[in-house]
Structure 1
Amino acid sequence: MNKAVFFDRDGTLNEEVHYLHKIEDFKWIEGAIDAIKYCNDNGYLAIVITNQSGVARGYYPESEIMKLYDWMNTDLAKHGAHLDGIYYCPHHPTGKVKKYAIECDCRKPKPGMLFKAQKDHNIDLKSSYLIGDGARDVECAEAAGVKGIRYTGGNLLEILKEWRLR
């Protein structure tokens, strides 16, 4: 089975921008690229787990999420790093886009995205971590049996090293 580090996106991998969906608005958090490469080099899958309610709210289409993800991997490749996957929740119960205005099991803090990633990548959740800037990220991790790390700022690589990922 594989081990993984699940990364929240906004506020963890990139600086918080309200409903980020444009490449030109994306700025990596200090140490984020190195943290992803550290995962790649130490036997951990690096997977993004992100709520993207901007889709349900009608701010941007789902295709913008994947466009930004593809750009992230292109930028990471310049540093010898990569993301192994992305799981996102486009839903929000009060959304304006009917198709996405639902209660679901994938919106954090519910663990649906983690369980989907587990199935797709044969992940041992007990040997994995989720790092995110919100309480709902840690709650999601705990609901899936993953070690939750609350990111409150600083160099993301140093945070991972403090947890002694091996």
Structure 2
Amino acid sequence: MKLVILDRDGVINQDSADFVKTPDEWIALPGSIEAIARLSRAGWRVVIASNQSGIARGLFSMDVLTAIHAKMRREVSEAGGAIDAIFVCPHGPDDGCLCRKPLPGLFQDIGRRYEMSLAGIPAVGDSLRDLQACAAAGCAPWLVLTGNGRKTQDGGSLPAGTQIRDSLACVADALLAGEAQ
């Protein structure tokens, strides 16, 4: 099975220091929806793994998060693709959970769901915690320079083997050209 794991904010959509709290605030980055659709049409299962501490902080409800994700799924569907699953950590930074990135819990949940090892599975993020979580789960880390990506790249200390691309569209180009998996 060809599987790719994506962070959401800063990879697929515009990130916000104030959190993405409504469907109207969720705005896709240029080319990201089409990138997901291209991967999906080529037989890749696209899975999202996203920290969503805005729930624990009381900034939005699970129902609102569901509506945001329905908008994202609808846009991908309209482009001819699909998102296979969305895994979220709803906890705050001090809640002591195992699913909040940089811990690998979300990725381990994905491995259990698909009954497979995540060794070498490409995982795309824009922050160091995304890359740390995917590397801890055995995935192949890919950094995009959208969202917080440039700051992450400039900060150094990236996990070994991290691939760097300008955007999710560029990652899709590389994956479809056989540069991973």
What range is the shorter-chain TM-score in?
Answer: 0.7 to 0.9
Residue 152 of structure 1 deviates from its aligned partner by 0.9
Match of 1:159 among 171, 174, 179: 171
What CA distance in whole angstroms lies between the structure 1 residues aligned with 2:124 and 2:23? 22
Task: Please state whether the residue corresponding to 1:82 is helix, strand or coil.
Answer: coil
What CA distance in whole angstroms lies between the structure 1 residues aligned with 2:139 and 2:110? 12
RMSD: 1.6
- 1:24 aligns with 24
TM-score for both structures, normalised by structure 1: 0.87
Match of 1:107 among 100, 117, 129: 100
Asked whether the 8 Å contact 2:5–2:49 carries over to 1, the reply is yes
Q: Find runs of 4+ consecutive structure 1 residues off by over 6 angstroms.
A: none
Amino acid at match of 1:152: L
Asked whether the 8 Å contact 2:49–2:86 carries over to 1, the reply is yes
What CA distance in whole angstroms lies between the structure 2 residues aligned with 1:127 and 1:93? 28
Give the number of equivalent residue pairs: 158
What CA distance in whole angstroms lies between the structure 2 residues aligned with 1:78 and 1:43? 17
Instruction: State the identity as a percent.
Output: 27
Asked whether the 8 Å contact 1:31–1:158 carries over to 2, the reply is no
Query: Where does structure 2 lack aligned partners over 5 or more consecutive residues?
Result: 147-165
Residue 123 of structure 1 deviates from its aligned partner by 3.7
TM-score for both structures, normalised by structure 2: 0.80
Task: Please state whether the residue corresponding to 2:119 is helix, strand or coil.
Answer: helix
Answering whether residue 89 of structure 2 is matched by residue 77 of structure 1, we say no
- 2:2 aligns with 3
Name the structure, 1 or 2, with higher relative contact order (CA <8 Å, separation 6+).
Answer: 1
Task: Please state whether the residue corresponding to 2:57 is helix, strand or coil.
Answer: coil
- 1:87 aligns with 87
What CA distance in whole angstroms lies between the structure 2 residues aligned with 1:121 and 1:89? 18
Residue 165 of structure 1 deviates from its aligned partner by 4.0
Query: Where does structure 1 lack aligned partners over 5 or more consecutive residues?
Result: 95-101
What CA distance in whole angstroms lies between the structure 1 residues aligned with 2:117 and 2:169? 22
Residue 25 of structure 1 deviates from its aligned partner by 1.1
